[in-house]
Amino acid sequence: MAVITYVGSGQMASALAFPAFENGHEVRLVGSPLDGEIIDRLREDNYHLNLKRTLPDGVKYYKVDELEEALDGADVVLGGVSSFGVDWFGKEVLPKIKDDVPVLSVTKGMIEEDDGNMITYLDYWDEMNDGRLNLNAIGGPCTSYELADHDNSQVAFCGKDIETLRMLKDLLETDYYNINLSNDITGVEFAVALKNAYALAVTLAVGLAEKREGEGAIHYNSQAALFAQSVKEMTKLLELAGGGAENIIYGAGDLYVTVFGGRTRRIGTLLGRGLSFDEAMKELEGVTLESIVIASRTASAVRKLAEQGKADLNDFPLLMHVDEIINQGKEVNIPWKEFETETVI
């Protein structure tokens, strides 16, 4: 039996309590500074207020001021913060972890550097902590609530050391939670981060259909076209970042599940219906939207790379339009003609 300490009681980290606990491990779930109410309720009856699921009886719960107690004796630390908790996790949590304890993160996203270079959160944390920790991450198409419901899922664990990844797989894999392994950190991490921006793009089509025909109207041709363009642009972005193009399978799969529900679908739909970005954000007040962060960062990075002659903005018409909607206040007007290509063999 291993002791696994989860830091951050977000939906995905909390859902991962199921495979770990069912495999016989001790699970310690620590709330972030924003998770006090969640931990209070879990201590009452194991019910997670945001995941809307009851966690296994026997999971141990800690508040953030009990972090050091929860880390004592841990064999693995699982990072469960959102993109908005990346700095807190890097500055307040990682320094408290022993050198020989591997870290596995569920956080999806990237950091844009001043020159337009894009780095993963693992790289960012590695720089913050002088490279002393064994940092790994999870990517792939897996929604927290369906994982908690034991729906079959296929993800990737990525990190520098394959033996560590094999050990982590042994701890968490079940008959419903299936795990690939990869030491292409950049490829896996960027593929799944980019899906947030492009899920917003695809769901613009949902809102456009509802704007024309009323709420509930759905047309799949337009969604499929935007999905295809998204995968095309994501593949080019992977190449720009230096990740293997084969990792697009994780980004495309994750894009698929994100388009069908959740916060990103809501913002894309509202924008497609004709709301301005500010109006849509007001309607979703209090909702964490990582898609906005990733879309803005990626577009900014691509623009900087284009200025240096390292990228061509014409390769990313959908991303650029999403950025215009979010950051320039433009109305939704999908640039369909800019997606067209001519192939001669």
Q: Tell me the pLDDT tens digit for each residue of 55-114.
A: 999 999 999 999 999 999 999 999 999 888 999 999 999 999 999 999 999 998 888 888
In CATH, the number for domain 3-183 is 3.40.50.720
Is 286's pLDDT higher than 70?
A: no
Amino acid at 125: W
Q: Where are the beta strands (DSSP E) in the chain?
A: 3-7, 26-30, 47-48, 53-54, 60-62, 76-79, 103-105, 110-112, 118-120, 135-139, 153-159, 177-182
Q: What is the Cα–Cα distance from 117 to 129, expressed in whole angstroms?
A: 20
Q: What is the Cα–Cα distance from 29 to 221, expressed in whole angstroms?
A: 43
pLDDT band for position 300 (cuts 50, 70, 90): very high
Q: What is the pLDDT of residue 216?
A: 87
Q: Which residue has the higher pLDDT, 285 or 327?
A: 327
> pLDDT, tens digit, for every residue of 109-158?
888 888 888 899 999 999 998 899 999 999 999 999 999 999 999 999 99
How far apart are the two ends of the chain, measured CA to CA in Å?
58
Q: How far is CA 345 from the centre of its chain?
A: 38
Q: What is the pLDDT of residue 288?
A: 66
Percent of the chain with pLDDT over 90: 88
Q: What is the Cα–Cα distance from 206 to 54, expressed in whole angstroms?
A: 32
Where do the domains of the chain lie?
3-183, 186-339
Say if residues 295 and 200 touch (Cβ distance below 8 Å).
Answer: yes
Q: For all residues of the chain together, what is the average pLDDT?
A: 95
> pLDDT, tens digit, for every residue of 19-63?
999 999 999 999 999 999 999 999 999 999 999 999 999 999 999
For 60, phi and psi rounded to 5 degrees? -100, 140
- CB atoms inside a 10 Å sphere around CB 273: 19
The CATH architecture of the domain made up of 186-339 is Orthogonal Bundle (1.10)
For residue 213, give both structure tokens.
């025909």
pLDDT band for position 261 (cuts 50, 70, 90): confident
77: three-class secondary structure by DSSP: strand
Least Cα distance to 128 among 187, 167, 88 occurs for 88
**Residue 2 class from Cβ within 10 Å (0-12 exposed, 13-18 middle, 19+ buried)?**
middle
Is 287's pLDDT higher than 80?
A: no
Q: What is the Cα–Cα distance from 41 to 33, expressed in whole angstroms?
A: 15
